[in-house]
Amino acid sequence: IKVEGLGATESTDFEKLNINIYEVCPLAIEDFVGQFDASTAWLGATSHNVSEGTAPNTLQIEGFWEDSDTAPNFVISYDADNTITFAEQPTGYYYNANGVMGFVFARMSNVPANISKIDPCTNRMSIWVNYYIQGTNSGFGDNLEVFTKQ
């Protein structure tokens, strides 16, 4: 093998050459949308259609907030690095247990290590969601919600 450029010298049979290869898959949103299997803390194992949202760079996970009569779709945004963000959203579920009552809302995790991403190589979305009960100091903490295209 002859290695040239950036100060490299020719290798002999007695030297090791490591080559790192990284898979790069651009996100083609028209190919990415479709039916996804979900493994989530919120609903367990379910299936959802993921469609393009009405605003640029948004997706809708249809029917994920199944308890909501007015806004059942989980709306997310993505950027050029495939990082997912989303605005606080009502789930439609009313919690009433152990003296705690209120509607459950979903917001982004504020833990720096919990980054929500789209992986176009595996057709997978990993979304960190913090579920909390509005008007209380109670909630369910951060949960990783995973969606994999069928």
Q: What is the pLDDT of residues 91-128, one digit of tens each?
A: 999 999 989 999 999 999 999 999 999 999 999 999 99
Task: Tell me the pLDDT tens digit for each residue of 26-62.
Answer: 999 999 999 999 999 999 999 999 999 999 999 999 9
Determine the Cα–Cα distance for residues 26 and 118; give it in Å rounded to an integer.
11
Check: CB of residue 117 under 8 Å from CB of residue 82: yes
Q: How many CB atoms neighbour CB 82 within 10 A? A: 16
pLDDT score at 2: 58
Enter the pTM of the model: 0.82
Determine the Cα–Cα distance for residues 1 and 68; give it in Å rounded to an integer.
62
> Can you read off the two tokens belonging to residue 53?
């949202």
